[in-house]
Structure 1
Amino acid sequence: MLSYKHVSVSVSGTHILEDINIDFNDGNITTIVGPNGCGKTTLLSCLNSSAKVTSGNICINDIDFLKLPLKERAREVAFLPQIRTVIPVLPVRTLVEHGRFPYLGFTRRKSKEDIDIVNQSMDFTHVTAYSEQNADTLSGGIRQRVFFSMILAQDSQIIVMDEPVTYLDLEGKRNFFNMLKKLRQSGKTIILVLHELSDAIRISDNIVIMNDRKIVAHGTPDECISSHIIEDVFHTTYKKFSDEDGDYYIFL
């Protein structure tokens, strides 16, 4: 289990996160939501040290995660940030193979297991057909699937993503969420930030609601809806609908 214990982040005396306490349940999809600037990205960025924890601890199964060597941390947690300003001029397969870096030795020679995992990751995300194309020539949606394939190749138990559906159209988003459900069924722990509340409620086992640098609520989607905290934080109302996949909400 990944746990944040009294985690705070400050930059030049300004609080970015304040006293974050949360357990992310194994084998669940947990979505973090909140207004812009509330600290969602910073909360995730603590995991790859792009945000420096100033107090508190992040633990995996009671082991201090931030004290682990970088390669060991990458074996535990695969992290896909939202903003990638530089798109590598590399063939898709080469980029996905970068996900195996935590397992390679000094020579960086790939084993049969490494190659098999890369192939499986590319097949799973449907990017095998683009193997020899340079990533910078692809559309935003396909490129996003390539980056997703790369972090799957890390074969980490915990997968963390910041707004991973930003570049996806409706069909791409639906396919992506179906992939997340399959990963959950395989036992992976998935933590992501989503912008759309309706998506978060439909895909998640648990939702974390942030506001003003703090966690203000967390629980199942039904618990968060029934508590009216979403209405208070986002100043919105909603309508509830149902179909063969269950209940869903449209926020107004």
Structure 2
Amino acid sequence: MLSYKHVSVSVSGTHILEDISIDFNDGNITTIVGPNGCGKTTLLSCLNSSAKVTAGNICINDIDFLKLPLKERAREVAFLPQIRTVIPVLPVRTLVEHGRFPYLGFTRRKSKEDIDIVNQSMDFTHVTAYSEQNADTLSGGIRQRVFFSMILAQDSQIIVMDEPVTYLDLEGKRNFFNMLKKLRQSGKTIILVLHELSDAIRISDNIVIMNDRKIVAHGTPDECISSHIIEDVFHTTYKKFSDEDGDYYIFL
């Protein structure tokens, strides 16, 4: 289990996160939501040290995660950030193979297992057909699937993604969420930041609600809806619709 224990982040005396304590349950999809600037991205960025924890600690199964060597951390947690300012001029397969870096030795020679995992990741995300194309020539939606394939190639138990559906159209988003469900069924732990509340409620086992640099609530989607905390934090109302596939929420 991934646990944040009284984690705070400060930059030049300004608090970015304040006293965050949360357990992310194994084998669940947990989505973090909150208004812009509330600290969602910073909370995730603590995992790859792009945000420096100034108090508290982060543990995996009671082991201090931030004290592990970088390669060991990458074997435990695969992280896909929201903003990628430089798109590599590399063939898709080469980019996905970068996901195996935590397992390669000094020579970086790939084993049959490495190659098999790369192939499986590309097949799973439906990017095999683009293997020889450079990533920078692809559409935003396909490129997002390539980056997703790369972090799957890390074969980490915990998958963390910040706004992963930004570049996806409706069909792409639906396919992506179906992939997440399959990963959950395989036992993976998935932690997301999503912008759309309706998506978060539909896909998640648990929701974490942030506001003003703190976690103000967390629980199942039903618990978060019934507590009215979403309405209070986002200053919104909603309409609920139901069919044979379940409940849907539209926020107004």
Deviation at 1:130, TM superposition (A): 0.1
- Partner SS, residue 154 of structure 1: coil
Deviations 1:116-139 (A, max 9, x none): 000000000000000000000000
Paired with 2:244 and 2:50, the residues of 1 have a C-alpha distance of: 42
Deviations 1:46-102 (A, max 9, x none): 000000000001000000000000000000000000000000000000000000000
Paired with 1:199 and 1:243, the residues of 2 have a C-alpha distance of: 16
Q: In the alignment, which residue of structure 1 is the partner of 2:235?
A: 235
Task: Calculate the TM-score normalised by the size of structure 2.
Answer: 1.00
Deviations 1:9-58 (A, max 9, x none): 00000000000000000000000000000000000000000000000010
Deviation at 1:242, TM superposition (A): 1.1
Paired with 1:120 and 1:248, the residues of 2 have a C-alpha distance of: 33
Paired with 1:144 and 1:243, the residues of 2 have a C-alpha distance of: 31
- Runs of at least 4 residues of structure 1 off by over 4 A? none
Deviation at 1:210, TM superposition (A): 0.1
Fraction of identical pairs, as percent = 99
Deviation at 1:248, TM superposition (A): 1.1
Deviation at 1:217, TM superposition (A): 0.1
Paired with 1:41 and 1:71, the residues of 2 have a C-alpha distance of: 22
Paired with 1:247 and 1:20, the residues of 2 have a C-alpha distance of: 31
Paired with 2:192 and 2:204, the residues of 1 have a C-alpha distance of: 10
Paired with 2:203 and 2:220, the residues of 1 have a C-alpha distance of: 11
Deviation at 1:245, TM superposition (A): 1.8
- Partner SS, residue 38 of structure 1: coil
User: Is the aligned partner of 1:152 residue 2:152?
Assistant: yes
Paired with 2:12 and 2:244, the residues of 1 have a C-alpha distance of: 51
Unaligned runs of 5+ in 1: none
Task: Calculate the TM-score normalised by the size of structure 1.
Answer: 1.00
Unaligned runs of 5+ in 2: none
Deviation at 1:153, TM superposition (A): 0.0
Give the aligned length.
Answer: 252
Q: In the alignment, which residue of structure 1 is the partner of 2:121?
A: 121
- Partner SS, residue 240 of structure 2: strand
Deviations 1:183-241 (A, max 9, x none): 00000000000000000000000000000000000000000000000000000000001
Paired with 2:119 and 2:174, the residues of 1 have a C-alpha distance of: 23
- Partner SS, residue 141 of structure 2: helix
User: Is the aligned partner of 1:224 residue 2:224?
Assistant: yes
Paired with 1:226 and 1:244, the residues of 2 have a C-alpha distance of: 21
Paired with 2:223 and 2:230, the residues of 1 have a C-alpha distance of: 10
Deviation at 1:243, TM superposition (A): 2.0
Paired with 1:199 and 1:248, the residues of 2 have a C-alpha distance of: 9
Deviation at 1:162, TM superposition (A): 0.1
Deviation at 1:244, TM superposition (A): 2.4
Deviation at 1:110, TM superposition (A): 0.1
- Partner SS, residue 132 of structure 2: coil
Tell me which moved more, 241-250 or 167-176. 241-250
Paired with 2:150 and 2:186, the residues of 1 have a C-alpha distance of: 18
Tell me which moved more, 143-152 or 239-248. 239-248
Q: In the alignment, which residue of structure 2 is the partner of 1:87?
A: 87
Paired with 1:203 and 1:244, the residues of 2 have a C-alpha distance of: 16
Paired with 1:68 and 1:194, the residues of 2 have a C-alpha distance of: 28
Paired with 2:31 and 2:245, the residues of 1 have a C-alpha distance of: 19
